[in-house]
């Protein structure tokens, strides 16, 4: 069976205030064309269909057109909700869509109810695990704790129980939206940390033949059977070196991956991250190849130059982001402060602040627990507000 694995469309998202709907439409054209040209048996969409819980009308219309076209080609599509989606909104009409071969899986209670397809070798059971917000689904799934690993383990236990009741020859595929340990993140994914932990071990998914992941925006293998397709477009400059693709996976009669291929997505405009003093960026002939790219420029001039954006735009007309990181001597306190913050998450910065105001004495273990709980509560409150919109 030939499966096309994609995720993280983020319909309605812009890139540094540049609308991306045309580029997203071009990707969906490419998706449908690939389904037809490569004789795909099923399309897997692993969450974050939209960029926010209440997407703009133009994004909804684009999604509607995509569903109609996928239904028209007669190839089943299995789609789950991600952490950016409103699961309840995305799931509206799921029963009707099912009749057209569009299978929306947005309800955690349906984790163990697969879409069953078949080919010459027998059945393939495709299980859709929507994004599982631990605090909201712990009781539904009867998970041991309100953590990512616990709720995914509970969901996968249900999947494995259902699979065990099916013929031994049944092959299995799971769609999930999560941060799996070993995956490489980028700057454009929303934080899903709970209790200071966001990643779950790949072993949670043991017992199935292929795991089609969404959430991380870079295409990558966590293991041979556990993979991210990545987003079809770049949504941050941290993705400048990404090759945007979909996975084309073939399962043989035993459930082994007999063939795999990364199918390239169309690139409207490449990204470039430039760094250096302004005069160097304006004069270096080696940078000519970036003159038509979307550009993020980091200026290292010790003194901020005059009109830097206008001057950069004269050579790089698609400059979207300007960062100042002036060269400073190592003993400069501003340099050391920036270095301390670089790469640190909100929890760590908060703990550093406590240590700063106490003259170097950081938070105790109970205080650290309170800080983490406060950050978790804010994140969960935001998730609840999005669900209820």
Q: What is the pLDDT of residue 151?
A: 97
**pLDDT tens-digit readout, 107-153:** 999 999 999 999 999 999 999 999 999 999 999 999 999 999 999 99
Q: What is the pLDDT of residue 39?
A: 97
Among candidates 5, 66, 73, 45, which has minimal Cα distance to 130? 45
pLDDT mean over 70-96: 96
Question: Percentage of the chain surpassing pLDDT 70?
Answer: 91
Average pLDDT over the chain, rounded to an integer: 92
Is 223 a residue whose pLDDT tops 90?
A: yes
**Could you give the dihedral angle defined by the CA atoms of residues 250, 255, 257 and 258, in that order, rounded to the nearest 10 degrees?**
-70
Q: What is the pLDDT of residue 192?
A: 83
Is 386 a residue whose pLDDT tops 80?
A: no
Q: What is the pLDDT of residue 368?
A: 81
pLDDT mean over 268-294: 97
Question: Percentage of the chain surpassing pLDDT 90?
Answer: 80
Distance CA 219, CA 243 (A): 7
Helix (H, G, I), strand (E, B) or coil at 216: coil
Higher pLDDT, 348 or 279: 279
Q: What is the pLDDT of residue 342?
A: 65
* Buried b or exposed e, range 104-140, using 16+ CB within 10 angstroms: bbbbbebbbbbbebeeeeebbbbbbbbbbbbbbbbee
User: Which range, of 20-24, 92-96, 332-336, averages the lowest pLDDT?
Assistant: 332-336
Q: What is the pLDDT of residue 190?
A: 87
Q: What is the pLDDT of residue 373?
A: 76
Distance CA 315, CA 175 (A): 44
CA angle 51, 52, 56 (to 5 degrees): 90
pLDDT mean over 17-40: 97
pLDDT mean over 100-110: 96
Q: What is the pLDDT of residue 147?
A: 93
Q: CA 295: distance to chain centroid?
A: 22
Q: What is the pTM of this model?
A: 0.85
Distance CA 69, CA 277 (A): 49
Bridge partners (DSSP) listed for residue 296 = 273, 321
Is 278 a residue whose pLDDT tops 90?
A: yes
Distance CA 212, CA 8 (A): 12
Q: What is the pLDDT of residue 356?
A: 65
Is 272 a residue whose pLDDT tops 70?
A: yes
**pLDDT tens-digit readout, 168-219:** 999 999 999 999 999 999 999 988 877 667 899 999 999 999 999 999 999 9
pLDDT mean over 269-283: 97
Cβ neighbors of 305 (< 8 A, separation 6 or more) are 278, 299, 311
Q: What is the pLDDT of residue 377?
A: 72
Residue 207 per-residue DSSP state: T
Q: What is the pLDDT of residue 195?
A: 64
**pLDDT tens-digit readout, 323-338:** 999 987 666 555 555 5
């Amino acid at each position: 069976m030939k499966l096309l694995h994609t995720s993280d469309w983020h319909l309605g998202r812009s890139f540094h205030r540049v609308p991306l709907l045309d580029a997203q439409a071009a990707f969906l054209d490419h998706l449908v064309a690939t389904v037809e040209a490569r004789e795909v048996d099923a399309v897997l969409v692993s969450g974050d269909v939209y960029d926010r819980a209440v997407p703009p009308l133009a994004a909804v219309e684009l999604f509607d057109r995509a569903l109609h076209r996928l239904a028209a080609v007669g190839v089943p599509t299995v789609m789950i909700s991600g952490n950016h989606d409103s699961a309840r909104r995305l799931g509206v009409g799921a029963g009707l869509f099912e009749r057209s071969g569009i299978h929306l899986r947005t309800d955690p209670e349906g984790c163990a109810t697969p879409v069953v397809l078949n080919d010459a070798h027998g059945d393939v059971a495709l299980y859709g695990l929507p994004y599982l917000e631990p605090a909201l689904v712990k009781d539904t799934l009867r998970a041991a704790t309100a953590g990512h690993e616990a709720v995914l383990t509970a969901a996968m236990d249900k999947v494995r129980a259902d699979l065990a009741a099916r013929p031994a020859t049944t092959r299995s595929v799971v769609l999930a939206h999560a941060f799996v340990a070993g995956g490489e993140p980028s700057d454009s994914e929303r934080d899903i940390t709970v209790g200071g932990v966001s990643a779950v071990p790949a072993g949670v998914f043991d017992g199935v033949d292929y795991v089609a992941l969404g959430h991380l925006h870079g295409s990558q293998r966590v293991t041979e059977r556990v993979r991210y397709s990545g987003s079809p477009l770049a949504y941050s400059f941290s993705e400048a070196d990404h090759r945007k693709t979909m996975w084309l996976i073939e399962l043989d009669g035993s459930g082994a991956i007999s063939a795999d291929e990364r199918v390239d997505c169309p690139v409207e405009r490449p990204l470039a991250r430039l760094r250096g003093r302004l005069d160097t960026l304006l004069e270096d002939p080696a940078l000519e190849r970036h003159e038509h790219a979307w550009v993020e420029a980091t200026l290292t001039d010790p003194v901020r130059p005059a009109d830097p954006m206008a001057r950069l735009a004269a050579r790089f007309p698609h400059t979207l982001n300007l960062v100042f990181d002036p060269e400073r001597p190592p003993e400069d306190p501003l340099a050391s402060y920036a270095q301390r913050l670089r790469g640190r998450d909100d929890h760590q910065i908060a703990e550093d602040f406590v240590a700063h105001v106490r003259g170097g004495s950081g938070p105790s273990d109970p205080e650290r627990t309170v800080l983490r709980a406060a950050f978790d509560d804010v994140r969960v409150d935001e998730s609840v507000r999005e669900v209820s919109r």
